[in-house]
Amino acid sequence: MSYLLASYTPFPPVTWFARLYGQHVLMLDAYEHFEKMSLRNRYAITGANGKILLSIPLVKGRNQRTAMKDVMIFNGENWQQQHWRTLMSVYRRSPYFEHFEPELQHFYLSPYSSLTDFNEQTIRFLLKQFGMPLNIQFTQQYKANYAPPIQDMRGNMSSEFINEGLQIPSYTQIFSERNGFLHNLSALDLLFSQGPMAASYLKKLGNMLNDSGAI
């Protein structure tokens, strides 16, 4: 039985899901501290002028040092409407956005107060679309280090945690004629671009990451 320990992050990046191939259990850590400038409350998509980071506003702002389970979303500004409008503007011409639109829109119509609740549901949504029926478990306390067979991916939550020396296979993206290939965007980008072919791409990339030793 293999385990991968990860941070809660909304609509995680492509490599996050690629690393799940070959794993049996996904463990999510609600007891680690929130870290600013990480992907714990934001996700990256493409745009006409390059990468766009969509951030979820937080009660007490991004400078807090509290356990993830206690981080609350600030709903005083209509961030859900803003995120949805941006996704619609960018991806409505992508091959598969329309197919996933009804289910995806739920995340931007239903109120959320807890960041981990929102993040967990986005993870479950994408696991379902990629056909990855992993067993999801949750930590019960914070531990700085874990022994095998648990692989710890919590430290890789910056927006650029991919091994830059690894040649990532490309797929056709919206605005690729302007931006070239933008690697490691939210897996939403892969889903909207590749649809049913996304799973085979993740498997190929997962094998590459495993062979290189990159997490």
| Model pLDDT for residues 88-117, shown as the tens digit of each residue | 999 999 999 999 999 999 999 999 999 999
pLDDT greater at residue 27 or residue 37: 27
pLDDT tens column, 129-185? 999 989 999 999 999 899 888 889 887 655 444 444 567 889 999 999 999 999 889
Q: What Cα–Cα distance (Å) separates residue 143 from each residue in 6, 55, 158, 162?
A: 12, 27, 20, 24
pLDDT greater at residue 159 or residue 61: 61
Residues 73/112, Cβ–Cβ less than 8 Å: yes
Distance CA 106, CA 160 (A): 28
Q: Is the pLDDT of residue 80 over 70?
A: yes
Residues 206/22, Cβ–Cβ less than 8 Å: yes
Domain span at residue 190 reads: 3-212
Q: In this predicted structure, what is the pLDDT of residue 2? A: 85
Q: What Cα–Cα distance (Å) separates residue 10 from each residue in 20, 172, 180?
A: 16, 23, 24
Mean pLDDT, range 50-56, rounded to an integer: 96
Quick one: what percent of the chain has pLDDT higher than 90?
A: 73
Mean pLDDT, the chain, integer: 90
Least confident of 15-19, 30-34, 167-171, 197-201: 167-171
Please give the backbone phi and psi of residue 4, each rounded to the nearest 5 degrees, phi first.
Answer: -125, 120
Q: In this predicted structure, what is the pLDDT of residue 213? A: 62
Which tokens in the block code for residue 183? 């690697």
pLDDT tens column, 204-215? 999 888 776 655
**Count of the separate structural domains present in the chain:** 1
Q: In this predicted structure, what is the pLDDT of residue 159? A: 47
Q: In this predicted structure, what is the pLDDT of residue 156? A: 66
Of the candidates 37, 39, 36, the residue with the CA atom closest to the CA atom of residue 8: 39
Could you give the angle at the alpha carbon of 134 between the alpha carbons of 13 and 138, nearest 5°? 85
Q: In this predicted structure, what is the pLDDT of residue 22? A: 79
